[in-house]
């Protein structure tokens, strides 16, 4: 294939039609032009905040786009959810410069999805290999320390491993739909004690509240105002400065409302809590949550149980509820592997990281197996 790689400091330079021709077939909302453009245009993922776009486009002789890769020059490791701070500290103590680095990822989004996006008319394997080689060449050209590709698909992860990148494995908790017709069908699959606990938690969380799932034309700027207040409250308590601006939510509300499920709780007509989900082709992705009232079990209700009900009603195969949270297991979300791949330019740092990952990968795999065996809330068959 005769093709040329171009580097772009904004997704708008590539354009919605060309980008989505490559991204839309995946059905992943996070790699859509609308989502990534909202991150940039809203001031959420911009150089001043540590995210400098360096997106790749693979073009044929006519300039048509055959493939794209979301790529950022990062000045820190914030908002990534794959933690390499210890690598950075060790390298800088030894006199190296870890930042900036290149990152292939979706900003602020720990959700597995494609990172090498191919036009349906192009050969996906060839496009993936060309984009990866382009990203590696960009590391050398810019003189940066490393390339990190976070939350790729397993196929992409294996391909990058074969290309010599270091492979990392981590864990998330995912609910999977076993062809349930209703939420009660899901409850029936649980042990008796867990079933009783979930019912009690739902009763207490719902008492006195009106809980609504808002999507499409139901979403208004008033809802986003309320949700942003929830988001700010949660963010200020967890990490000090929330990543996403208010404008980000208006933008996704305007451009991808049909791919949003905003679950909100109201008391006497006033919104008190909410959980934002994005709808994929076969999955519901839980993202941000927040509340202005401390209501027992309301977090579980909005983020987990309502998400399960929505997925069952839509016939979605799974709910991915984001990073961390062993407490999710008791709510039916089971441990599952997620992946990242890393190219380290400095031989010494590469050797040290490779040695670390050789021990971490089997430990994570063993932890997944142990949790699934010992903590599962599901009835034994």
Evaluate if residue 238 carries a pLDDT over 90: no
* DSSP helix/strand/coil, 113: coil
Average pLDDT over residues 132-142: 98
User: 188: domain range?
Assistant: 178-316
The fraction of the chain above a pLDDT of 90, given in percent, is: 95
In a domain, 214, yes or no: yes
Residues 127 and 219 in one domain: no
Evaluate if residue 246 carries a pLDDT over 80: yes
Provide the 8-state DSSP code for 82.
S
In a domain, 143, yes or no: yes
The confidence band for 211, taking pLDDT boundaries of 50, 70 and 90, is very high
pLDDT of residue 357: 98
Residues 230 and 270 in one domain: yes
Helices within the chain (DSSP H only): 16-23, 33-41, 85-93, 124-142, 154-162, 183-188, 192-206, 221-238, 246-255, 298-300, 306-314, 347-374
The fraction of the chain above a pLDDT of 70, given in percent, is: 98
Evaluate if residue 240 carries a pLDDT over 70: no
Residues 230 and 276 in one domain: yes
Query: Could you give the number of structural domains in the chain?
Result: 2
Tell how strand 318-320 and strand 334-344 pair up. unpaired
Interval 311-343: pLDDT, tens = 999 999 999 998 888 999 999 999 999 999 999
Interval 84-113: pLDDT, tens = 999 999 999 999 999 999 999 999 999 999
pLDDT of residue 153: 98
In a domain, 128, yes or no: yes
Residues 153 and 11 in one domain: yes
Residues 56 and 126 in one domain: yes
Round to whole Å and give the CA distance between 303 and 300.
5
Interval 34-88: pLDDT, tens = 999 999 999 999 999 999 999 999 999 999 999 999 999 999 999 999 999 999 9
Residues 139 and 166 in one domain: yes
Residues 346 and 216 in one domain: no
pLDDT of residue 2: 79
The confidence band for 381, taking pLDDT boundaries of 50, 70 and 90, is low
The whole-chain average pLDDT of the chain stands at 96
Average pLDDT over residues 14-34: 98
In a domain, 278, yes or no: yes
At residue 166, what are phi and psi to the nearest 5 degrees? -75, 135
The alpha carbon of residue 134 and the mean position of all alpha carbons in its chain are separated, in whole angstroms, by 23
Evaluate if residue 1 carries a pLDDT over 60: no
Evaluate if residue 237 carries a pLDDT over 70: no
Residues 288 and 367 in one domain: no
In a domain, 325, yes or no: no
Residues 6 or more apart in contact with residue 57 via CB below 8 angstroms: 5, 6, 8, 14, 18, 65, 67, 68
In a domain, 125, yes or no: yes
In a domain, 322, yes or no: no
Residues 67 and 185 in one domain: no
Predicted model pTM: 0.96
Task: Write the CATH number for 9.
Answer: 3.40.630.30
Residues 114 and 219 in one domain: no
In a domain, 380, yes or no: no
Residues 126 and 234 in one domain: no
Average pLDDT over residues 114-124: 97
pLDDT of residue 323: 84
Residue among 54, 48, 50 at smallest CA distance from 72: 54
Residues 195 and 54 in one domain: no
pLDDT of residue 380: 83
pLDDT of residue 235: 64
pLDDT of residue 233: 85
The answer to whether residues 50 and 74 touch, using CB atoms and an 8 Å cutoff, is: yes
């Amino acid at each position: 294939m005769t093709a040329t790689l171009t580097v772009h400091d904004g997704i708008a330079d590539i354009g919605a039609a060309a980008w989505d021709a490559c991204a839309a077939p995946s059905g992943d909302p996070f790699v859509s032009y609308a989502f990534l453009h909202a991150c940039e245009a809203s001031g959420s993922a911009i150089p001043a905040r540590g995210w400098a776009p360096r997106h790749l486009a693979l073009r044929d002789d006519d300039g048509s786009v055959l493939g794209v890769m979301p790529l950022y020059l990062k000045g820190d490791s914030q908002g990534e959810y794959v933690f390499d701070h210890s690598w950075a500290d060790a390298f800088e103590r030894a006199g190296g410069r870890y930042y900036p680095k290149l990152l292939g990822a979706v900003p602020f989004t720990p959700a597995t999805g494609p990172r090498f996006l191919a036009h349906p008319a192009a050969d996906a394997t060839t496009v993936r290999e060309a984009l990866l080689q382009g990203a590696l060449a960009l590391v050398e050209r810019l003189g940066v320390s490393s390339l990190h590709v976070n939350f790729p698909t397993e196929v992409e992860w294996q391909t990058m491993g074969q290309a010599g990148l270091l492979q990392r494995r981590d864990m998330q908790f995912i609910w999977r739909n076993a062809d349930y017709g209703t939420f009660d069908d899901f409850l029936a699959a649980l042990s008796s004690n867990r079933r009783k606990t979930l019912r009690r938690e739902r009763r207490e969380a719902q008492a006195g509240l009106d809980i609504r799932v808002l999507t499409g034309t139901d979403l208004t700027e008033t809802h986003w105002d309320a949700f942003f207040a929830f988001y700010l409250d949660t963010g200020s308590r967890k990490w000090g400065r929330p990543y996403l601006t208010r404008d980000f939510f208006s933008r996704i509300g305007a451009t991808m409302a049909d791919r949003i499920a905003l679950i909100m709780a109201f008391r006497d007509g006033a919104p008190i809590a909410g959980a934002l989900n994005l709808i994929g082709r076969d999955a519901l992705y839980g993202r941000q949550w927040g509340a202005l009232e401390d209501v027992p079990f309301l977090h579980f209700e909005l983020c987990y149980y309502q998400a399960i009900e929505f997925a069952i009603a839509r016939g979605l195969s799974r709910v991915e509820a984001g990073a961390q949270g062993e407490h999710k297991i008791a709510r039916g979300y089971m441990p599952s592997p997620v992946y990242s791949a890393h190219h380290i330019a400095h031989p010494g740092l590469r050797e040290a990281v490779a040695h670390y990952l050789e021990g971490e990968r089997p430990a994570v795999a063993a932890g997944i197996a142990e949790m699934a065996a010992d903590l599962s809330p599901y009835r034994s068959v």
